Every structure is written in C-alpha cells, then in structure tokens.
Structure 1
Amino acid sequence: MNTIKILLWLVFAAQLLACAHQPGASYDAVVTRDTYLLGKPGHFNRVQAALDAAPVGAATPFKIFIQPGDYYEKLVIDKPNIQLIGAGMDKTRILFDAYSGQVSEPGKTWGTRGSGTVIVRAADVQFHNLTIENSFDFVSNDALENDDPQKIRHSQAVALHLDKGSDRVLAREVQLLGYQDTLFVDAGRAWFDRNKIAGNVDFIFGAGNALFTDSEIITRIRGRDSIPHAYVTAPSTQIADEYGLTFIRCKLTREPGVPDNSTPLGRPWHPTTDFPDGRYADPNAIGKAVFIDTEMDAHITRDGWYWMGGTTRDGGKEPFMPDDARFFEYQSHGAGAHKNAKRRQLTTEDAQHYTWETLMGDWQKP
C-alpha cells in the first residue's frame, strides 16, 4: 500500500512540475526538448515555432521560455513585443554558423547583414538569461594562409543583428558570442545590461544608439598574429545622431593569448553606400563611441583608437582617421587606461549628460 502511495505521489509531483512550465501567467509559450511536455498546448521543440505562434502586432509582451539546451536555429524576429527568456546564459543557447560569404540560396550569399543567428526587425523585443552565438569557426579559417584555396574571404559572422525596424531592444544577462562582427547594432535604441559580449574584429558595430551597462566585453584570440589584434567597436553613427555606442561601468577583458597593447577601443566605419552620384563610403557616418567609468585590461592600446579604410567614388580606398570621429572616454581605469592627446576625454559636465534617460529618450525604462 505504501508503494502505491509513493508512486501516486511521484506522478502527482511530476504533473505539478509540468504545470509549472505551462504557458499561462508566467509564459505564453515554452520551447522544450521534453517529449512529455511537447504534447501540451503552447509547447514547441523549436524557437522558430514559438515565434510563429506569437500574435502579429501584439500590444503586450509575448513571453517565450526556452528550457536548457542548444537550439541550432537561425531566427528573424519581425513581430513586436517578443521576449525570449532562457534558463541562464550557461544553460540556454541559440546558435547558428552562417557567415557573410556563405551561399544562402542559389546565386546569393548571406552577406554580413544576413548572417546573424538572431535578426531583430521589430520594436520592444527583449532577451534574458541565454546565449546567442554565431558558431562559425573563425579561428581555424583565420589560421589559414591568405593564398590557401580553402580560406574563406568574407568571414563576418554576426550573432545578434538589430536591423531596420528594431527599437527599444533590451538584452539583460545575455551572452553574445562570435568573432568578427559579433553584435551589429544598426538601428533604433538598445540597452545591453549585465551582459557578456565576446569577439575580435569590429565585434560591436553599427549605426544604432546602444547603451552598455555593467557588462563584460571580451576580446578573443585569433588564428594568427595580427597587428592590431582586434578592434572592440566600429561605429557608423550618422552625424545627425547625438549618441552611438556608449559603455558605462563596463569591463574590457581578454582571453588568454590576446597580447598587451594590441586592441584599439574602436575605429570609424564609413559603410559603402549607394548615392545618386555613385557608391562610396558614407561621409555622414561620423561614428560615436564613448567609454565612461570603464575598466580596461592591458590589451587595450596606448593610443586607444585606430583608423579604418573606406571606398572612394572611383572605387579606391581612403583612410578615415579616429580624430575625425566622435571618440571619447571619461574616468577609464585599469592597465589599459592611458591619458594622452590621442585619447580624448569628456569633461565632468559633459559626462553627466550620459544617463539612461538622456540616451534612451522617451523609452520607459524596463
């Protein structure tokens, strides 16, 4: 009799556990690998299936809980008010391995803009407690000689892309992993709070207004020696926009093997753009990147910033210098913090304008 009672109790406990993950007050959908739960309404085995189930144009958040596991998917979020919530950045991982030069369909490649593991084209999207990764093997490809026929020439591989249409995007306690071009913030406003973001070449870049608070920015190894080794940012902020990439109370760290004095804080990206008189580097992309009260390890270069080439009207190349961009620091500290003429400093009065409310405008703080 006792054995029967124990079995009944175990069944009841399992049902309670399952109900705890049922869509309802906490979540509108659950992504799971549990075959028992997959038979229940609102449960899906793929993140894309849960996104497909979300309403179009919802006025309130549609919350999707993603249970622990690796989900090999390439996602486009084009519906507003979507929230992807994982079980922890070390437990829930969305990954894909597309890269710029990879064929996406006959006659076409992904390009940098299409390579993202997750691409956002809607407002009020949130990410919590998960990892988004582009798992393309950049390091092995980087190690190949330039004349090796196996070497991939267009190796940009984005993890998260905030594309046109995105705005008021929040990522909190999220890990973004990649190498070249990890995080493409190209539109709208975004807040990255208490995150880990890792990469090497221009791994935080774009024209958007993105605020990074209390986050770890990790420079990763390469497959071969390169001078510079990496670049933390490559903003392409339009001159008409007051804010670009802003880092407050962050830590700039590195993987073992990243040399001292090897990684500039950023370089000015002038994207090649179509104009009525030709295709050339956008002269209005006067990038802005600001580091405030940020700890910097010794891999950050003494000069702080670097130049970047851009396309001329005749198809050639011209250098864009960091002095012509809007690059500033305030109260940097650590082994990589240096004060010199090449690392321009904000005044205390200027720095006081860099608050969440000032940068994010009429976005109600989530």
Structure 2
Amino acid sequence: MSTSGAILRVRSVAVVTVGALAAAVSLTSAASASATITVAADGSGTYTTVQAAIDSVAANNGVPVTITIKPGTYRGVVTVPANKPHLTLAGAGGSPGQVVIVEGHASGQTKPGGGTYGTSGSASVFVNANDTTISNLTMSNDFNEAANTLDAEQAVAVNTSGDRVQFDNVRILGNQDTLLVNAPSVSSVRRLYVRNSYVEGDVDFIFGRGTMVFQNGTVHSLTRGSSSNNGYITAAATDINNKFGFLFWGTTLTSNAPARTVYLGRPWHPSGDVNARGQVLYRGVAMGAHVRTDPWTDMSGFSWRTARFAEYGSTGPGAVVNANRPQMSASTATQYTPTAYLAGNDGWNPIR
C-alpha cells in the first residue's frame, strides 16, 4: 500500500473494513465450496482435466479436498505435488475401469526440450504429497514395448513418494516397473497402503525402497512368451535400517504365463548401494502355478540370499516349500503384520 493510500478519513476506513469483512465471508464460502471438485472430460464438471483440478487447490492446504472424477479416459501426466497434502482422487464410475488416467512415457524416450525421462520420471501418476488417497480408478502406462526398440523401456504407471498414501479399489497397469514405491532418500520412510486392488506387469513391476502393504488384492504377472523366465514381481531396495519393505497380505497371485516361470522377486541395489537389503514377505498369499519353485533370484551381481525375503502361510499350486524358499517362523511373523509395517513413528493405522 502506498503512503498516500494509507491516509484515509475515518468514514473511508469504515467502508473498507466492511468491504474486507464481506470479502472474507465470500472467501470462506468459496474455500468451503472448493472442498469438493468435479472433473469431467465432457465439460460437465468444474474442470476437464485431473491436473487442472489439482492445480486449483491452494498450496499447503490444511483442509482435505476431494476431487471426484467422472467416467472417461484422461490422457496426460498427473502430479500431486508435495505441497498439496490431504487430497483424495475418487473415480465416480461403478468400477475402477470406468475412470482411466493414462500416459505412455518410457525411460529411454526423449523428453520435450531434450534428455530422457528416466525410469522414475516416466510415470503417468506422481504422488509426491503426504496423506493422499486414490480410489476407484485406473492408473496406466500404455507405452508399447513391441512397437519400440529403446535401450531403456521401463515405463512406470505410478510413482509414489509421499507418506501415508492409500490406494483403494484401483487398477495399476503397465509392463516393466509398473509401481514404484519410492522414498526421497535412503533415510526416509514412506508408507503406501494398497487395499482391494489390482496391479499387473512383467519385470520388477513392484519396486523401490518405500514401505508397502498390499492387502486382499490381485497381483497379475503378464507373460513375456518365455518357457522359463517370465519376469519378476518385486525388486525391493529397502534400506538395511528399515525393518519393513513390502508385505503382501491375503493377496492372490495370478498370471497368463506358463507354470513355474515367474519369480517372486530379486534384490535391487540402486547405484550399487550395498545397504539396499530388500525386505519382502508374502503372507497368507494364494499363489498360482506360474510361481517358480526357486522364486528368488540374484540381480546385478547381488545375491538374493543377502536380502530379507520370506513367505509365511502361502497356499495354492505355486506354494512349494523347499531350501530355496525361506519360511518365516510363527514367532517372528507376529512382528510382521500390516499394522506393524504402517505404524511408523506416528502410529498411522488406515487398516479397516
């Protein structure tokens, strides 16, 4: 405000005060109304794209905001930035297949302006904010491996690095590196809770150094047309100081691949990090016949036996117990429950 504008008569001050009060009331009403935003590709909502709806939310918002997305296909990268917590993206269709967020970037593709996307940058959906919930929709990377000859064809559907993130009744679709359960640094713990959902891929398609509980859903391994090796479900890079990596709880493993051709996982050591000691537990999981009898394997010169891989109470034709399949003891299993994985230092418990 200029000096001359600050010298006002008393009457003028009263008018400005009343006007400011009215503006404040109007702003409060607008903020309240914006707690729910509707996205519709046909123009019948507040916005036509999911990203526009996210962009409309004030930075560092303290009030939860629900973005309801009407049925349709929404092509384009969607990012929930770190400074916009407490957002819910909810598909409004009768099933998660009716609302689809999709893009087709791959690690080795050239970005506009130069350079390549890289694996983590190839995602269709980035969840960088804490306390984000995504429900009843599909997140997909439809990069066509068969139609391309890139040196790096990793194509992430979802890259989540926020904490206390929840996916409920979603589909996550891709091929190589479908779901990146990320963390911004080796010392950071980031938690993802996935319930009643479906994820598919072929190579390392659930990977990263974050902590995840995948409960009561389906993990589907796509065939690569091999008679012996049709890929790896996980590539965990859990830091040795983090007790909890990936827990599959009450989940079903399915595939269209031949019997005994899919690995449960292998240990990922990003940039050769010797402290990346992946932790993966399949607990109470129904395993299809596609799971190999030797389901863990080495990666980039690192032995799977130095990682923290185990099963407990697996069932189905793929559940074979032998020397290549470490089984967690009943006493140790009491420490490895969904609530233990997700509690962290703040006692977070989204399980219902």
TM-score range, shorter chain: 0.7 to 0.9
Whether the aligned pair in 2 keeps the contact of 1:213 and 1:247 (CA below 8 Å) is yes
CA distance, structure 1, for counterparts of residue 333 and residue 349 of structure 2: 22
C-alpha separation in 2, matches of 1:221 and 1:271: 26
Code of the aligned partner of 1:184: L
SS of aligned partner of 2:254: strand
User: What is residue 83 of structure 1 aligned with on the other side?
Assistant: 88
The residue type paired with residue 65 of structure 1 is T
Give how far 1:33 is off: 2.6
Q: For residues 26 and 304 of structure 1, do their structure 2 counterparts lie closer, same or farther at Cα, with a shift above 3 Å needed?
A: farther
Provide the rounded CA distance (Å) in 2 between the counterparts of 1:232 and 1:158.
14
Task: Give 1:239 deviation, angstroms.
Answer: 0.2
Structure 2 residue matching 1:57: 3-state secondary structure: coil
Q: Is the 1:260–1:299 Cα contact (8 Å) retained in structure 2?
A: yes
Q: In structure 2, what is the Cα distance between the partners aligned to 1:161 and 1:227?
A: 30
Is 1:353 aligned to residue 335 of structure 2? yes
Q: Deviations over 1:168-203 (max 9, x none)?
A: 000000000000000000120010001000000000
Query: What amino acid is the match of 2:66?
Result: K
Matching residue's letter, 2:86: N
Where in structure 2 are the equivalents of 1:1-366 lying within 5 Å? 28-35=36-43, 37-38=44-45, 43-78=46-81, 79-86=84-91, 87=93, 88-138=95-145, 140-141=146-147, 151-163=149-161, 166-187=162-183, 188-222=190-224, 224-225=225-226, 227-255=228-256, 258-272=257-271, 281-309=272-300, 319-361=301-343, 362-365=347-350
- Counterpart secondary structure, 1:211: strand
Aligned to 2:137, the other structure's residue is in SS state: strand
Question: Please, what is the CA RMSD of the aligned residues?
Answer: 1.7
1:365 positional shift: 2.1
| Deviation digits for residues 112-131 of structure 1 (CA, Å, limit 9, x no counterpart) | 01000001111001100000
**Residues 266-294 of structure 1: CA deviation (Å, up to 9, x unaligned):** 0000011xxxxxxxx00000111100000
State the shift of 1:73 in Å.
1.3
Count of matched residue pairs: 308
Change (3 A) 1:134 1:81: same
Q: What TM-score comes out, normalization by structure 2 length? A: 0.84
Secondary structure at 1:50 match in 2: helix
Distance 1:325 1:63, change over 3 A: same
Quick one: which amino acid aligns to residue 246 of structure 2?
L
Asked if the contact 2:38/2:67 (under 8 Å) is kept, the reply is yes
Find the aligned partners of 2:202 and 2:310 in 1 and give their Cα distance. Answer: 21
Give the AA of the match of 2:42.
D
Does the CA-based 8 Å contact 1:27-1:65 persist in structure 2? no
Q: 1:105 aligns to what SS in structure 2?
A: coil
Q: Secondary structure at the match of 1:113?
A: helix
Query: Conserved in 1, the CA contact under 8 Å of 2:166 and 2:192?
Result: yes
Q: Distance in 2 between matches of 1:156 and 1:191?
A: 23
Larger radius of gyration: 2
Q: C-alpha displacement at 1:225, in angstroms? A: 2.8
Q: Percent identity?
A: 36
Equivalent pair of 1:235/1:288 in contact (CA under 8 Å) = yes
Q: Measure how far apart 1:26 and its partner are.
A: 10
Counterpart CA distance in 1 for 2:228 and 2:32 is 53
Q: Retained in 1: the 8 A contact 2:228–2:260?
A: no
Q: For the residues of structure 2 that align with 1:105 and 1:45, how far apart are their CA atoms?
A: 23
The CA distance in 2 between the partners of 1:26 and 1:53, in whole Å, is 9
> Does the CA-based 8 Å contact 1:61-1:81 persist in structure 2?
yes
Residue 289 of structure 1: SS of its match in structure 2?
strand
User: Structure 2 vs 1, CA of residues 108 and 227 (structure 1 numbering), >3 Å: closer, same or farther?
Assistant: farther
Partner secondary structure for residue 252 of structure 1: strand
Show structure 1 runs of 4+ deviating over 3 A: 23-27
Query: 1:60 deviation in Å?
Result: 2.8
Q: Which amino acid aligns with 2:37?
A: A
Displacement of 1:229 in angstroms is 1.1
Q: Which residue of 2 aligns with 1:18?
A: none
Q: CA deviation at 1:341?
A: 1.1
Q: Could you tell me whether the CA contact under 8 Å between 2:35 and 2:63 is conserved in 1?
A: no
**Ranges in structure 1 where 5+ consecutive residues have no aligned partner:** 1-22, 142-149, 273-280, 310-318
Report the CA distance shift for 1:131/1:27 in structure 2 as closer, same or farther (over 3 A).
farther
Deviation at 1:206, TM superposition (A): 0.3
Q: Tell me the distance in 2 between the aligned counterparts of 1:131 and 1:107.
A: 29
